[in-house]
């Protein structure tokens, strides 16, 4: 009997991410399984998830990492509730084609503008104004986002006066961020 090689499910058709904690992740009978301390097994459809966030208390077998890599699922080791990222795997090995393509889009001014225009359209569900530069679109987007923040703050009774970053206090701000 010959097996047909399976292709990973496209990312657009997958669940974006799940969080797992306090258990042993292994492969049993070809399935990705989380086993908790009482022995209860929970089958995880690893091939239909884009990213699995592994929180503290999670142990992962080599077989589970191999299966996740085979089906193109990213494993990320994070702090509790995803507050910090400690490590991540790279599904599919060290392929650089997507990274090189992204670099090409970022470094070519015309292609970069196309990407920015498409991202604007995805975010605001309308085409961006014609004949605008990346910097101009960034300014328009920033203005719209600030207006949305102000509207939501008013709607929910939150005092909001914009974001203020102090470059001299940058490190401290990053350390405090997980507390909020």
pLDDT digits (tens, 9 = 90+) for 88-146: 887 766 667 888 899 999 999 999 999 999 999 999 999 999 999 999 999 999 999 99
pLDDT tens track for 35-88: 999 999 999 999 999 999 999 999 999 999 999 988 889 999 999 988 899 998
The pTM for the full model equals 0.59
Q: How far apart are CA 88 and CA 64, in angstroms?
A: 14
**Helices in 37-133 by DSSP H: which ranges?**
62-70, 97-107, 109-124
Instruction: Match 């499910």 to its residue by tokens.
Output: 9
The CATH architecture assigned to 11-88 reads Ribosomal Protein L15; Chain: K; domain 2 (3.100)
pLDDT at residue 4, rounded to an integer: 61
Query: Are 56 and 80 a contacting pair, CB within 8 Å?
Result: yes
Integer Rg of the chain from CA:
22
Query: What is the residue extent of each domain of the chain?
Result: 11-88, 97-158
Record the tokens describing residue 62, joined without a space. Answer: 């080599």
Q: In what order do the strands lie in the sheet with 49-54?
A: 15-20, 49-54, 74-78, 85-88
């Amino acid at each position: 009997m010959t097996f047909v090689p399976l292709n990973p499910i496209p990312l657009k058709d997958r669940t974006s991410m799940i969080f797992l904690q306090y258990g042993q992740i292994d492969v049993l009978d070809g399935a990705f399984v989380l086993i908790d301390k009482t022995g209860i097994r929970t089958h995880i459809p690893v091939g239909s998830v884009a990213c699995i966030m592994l929180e503290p208390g999670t142990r992962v077998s080599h077989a589970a990492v191999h299966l996740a890599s085979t089906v193109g699922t990213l494993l990320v080791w994070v702090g509790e509730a995803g507050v910090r990222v400690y490590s991540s795997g790279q599904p599919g090995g060290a392929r650089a084609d997507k990274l090189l393509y992204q670099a090409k889009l970022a470094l070519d001014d015309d292609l970069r503008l196309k990407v920015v225009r498409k991202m604007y359209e995805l975010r605001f569900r309308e085409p961006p104004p014609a004949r605008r530069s990346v910097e101009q679109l960034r300014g328009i987007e920033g203005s719209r986002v600030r207006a949305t923040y102000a509207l939501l703050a008013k709607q929910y009774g939150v005092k909001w006066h914009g974001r203020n970053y102090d470059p001299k206090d940058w490190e401290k701000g990053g350390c405090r961020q997980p507390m909020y």
